[in-house]
Amino acid sequence: MSLVNEAQVIDALSTVQEPDLKKDLVTLNMIEDISIDSDNNISFTVVLTTPACPLKEQIKTLCIDAVKSHVPEAAGIDVTMTSKVTSTCNHHHCNHERPLKEVKNIIAVASGKGGVGKSTFAVNLAVSLAKSGAKVGLLDADLYGPSIPTMFGMQNVKPEMLDKNIVPLEKYGVKLMSIGFLVESDTALIWRGPMASSAIKQFISEVDWNELDYLIFDLPPGTGDIQITIAQTIPLSGAVIVTTPQDVALADVSKAVSMFRKVKVPILGLVENMSYYELPDGTKDFIFGHHGGEIFAKTQGIPFLGEIPIDRAVREGGDKGTPYVLGYPDSATSKAINRASMEVARMVSITNATPAEELS
């Protein structure tokens, strides 16, 4: 006969706070499938808001400790960690008719300046989130210089059409779409101004993404028509800003931050790319300056998502079509990129749980 009942387990778990959402796991409906066998072995499932949750192990330990201390009769404690990604659609952005209805969260990767590593980060973010178990898509919103086909080694592949919609391609567990899949690479695109705005809107609406947890938009550099159109018409969960530590990149990045803030798109965080180069003796050469991104993020009140060093293999991975985090999964640089990716997922979850008026 079991000495333990379900109510005791619920009481124990209602003492565990979700560290980011600041409510207990029972109130947040994050506990499922509690079962207790005749030997007092307890098992239950914790449903996180993202499979890429950086606090997964911490929350699991908090649950085990809470049950141990509140239910001393427990013999074994078995916790299954799973997830159900929350959606911006249940949130303030979705009062209007929403395009991309089956996509839970759309994340823009942006910067004020060209060549800082937006596409490189967007690709590795997408792959990293997909590896964690999320359903991920990546849209190359750069109509003039698309780089996703090359970065995935898919220069000569053409997508299929289904009922007048474009079916995204798929590689490394990520659904992909780029204007580069639709036009020849030497075809100059001449859309400008309002034409560029309607081209990008049409392009976005015609892709059949199906269900996705995260759709990443790799934006072109700057704050022109395409960026403004996307920021205004797509219900973005938020924007991730990529910069190098250099002052000039940071001056441009201020413009991008202002643009998103003006249209009330939350800034999920800032990634500093090309932070330093590690010399063979292990010392770091801060080629583009030191900690510029982190200081900028702090002064702007933006979460700092981490630094990614300059690494030849990152560039080679992009050119060869093997995203760096897949080619070198155990390197320190991959760990930095994965950590930054998990922070992005975490910030999306926090943003989705925050009332609109409290978002900055």
Ligand X SMILES: Nc1ncnc2c1ncn2[C@@H]1O[C@H](COP(=O)(O)OP(=O)(O)OP(=O)(O)O)[C@@H](O)[C@H]1O
* Smallest separation (angstroms) from ligand X to the CB of 223: 12
Locus of tokens 């990546």: 138
Please identify which residue in 83, 111, 119, 178 interacts with Mg ion, judged by CB under 5 A.
119
Tell which positions 75-134 bind ligand X, by CB under 6 A. 111, 114-120
In the complex, minimum distance from the CB of residue 123 to ligand X, in angstroms, rounded to a whole number:
8
116 binds, among Mg ion, ligand X, none (CB under 5 to 8 A by kind): ligand X
- Residue number with CB closer to Mg ion (48 or 143): 143
Are the CB atoms for 102 and 211 separated by under 8 Å?
yes
Q: Which does 237 bind (CB under 5 to 8 A by kind): ligand X, Mg ion, none?
A: none
DSSP letters, 14-74, are TTPBPTTT-SBTTTTT-EEEEEE-TT--EEEEEEES-TT-TTHHHHHHHHHHHHHHH-TT-
Asked if 147 interacts with ligand X (CB under 6 A), we say yes
Residues 245-284 that bind ligand X (CB under 6 A): 273-274
Yes or no: say if 13 and 43 are a contact pair by the CB < 8 Å rule.
Answer: no
For the bound state, the minimum distance from the C-beta of residue 11 to ligand X, rounded and expressed in Å, comes to 49
Contact 226, 141 (CB under 8 A): yes
Count other C-beta atoms under 10 Å from residue 157's C-beta.
12
Asked if 243 is part of the footprint of Mg ion (rule: CB under 5 A), the reply reads: no
Q: Is residue 149 within the footprint of ligand X (CB under 6 A)?
A: no
| CA quadruple 100, 105, 109, 112: dihedral sign | positive
Please tell me whether residue 310 binds ligand X under the rule CB under 6 A.
yes
Least distance (Å) between residue 17 CB and ligand X: 36
> d(Cα 29, Cα 42) in Å, to the nearest integer?
18
Contact present, 228 and 259 (Cβ < 8 Å): yes
Positions touching Mg ion (CB under 5 A) are 118-119, 147
Positions touching ligand X (CB under 6 A) are 111, 114-120, 142, 145, 147, 220-221, 273-274, 308, 310-311, 314-315, 318
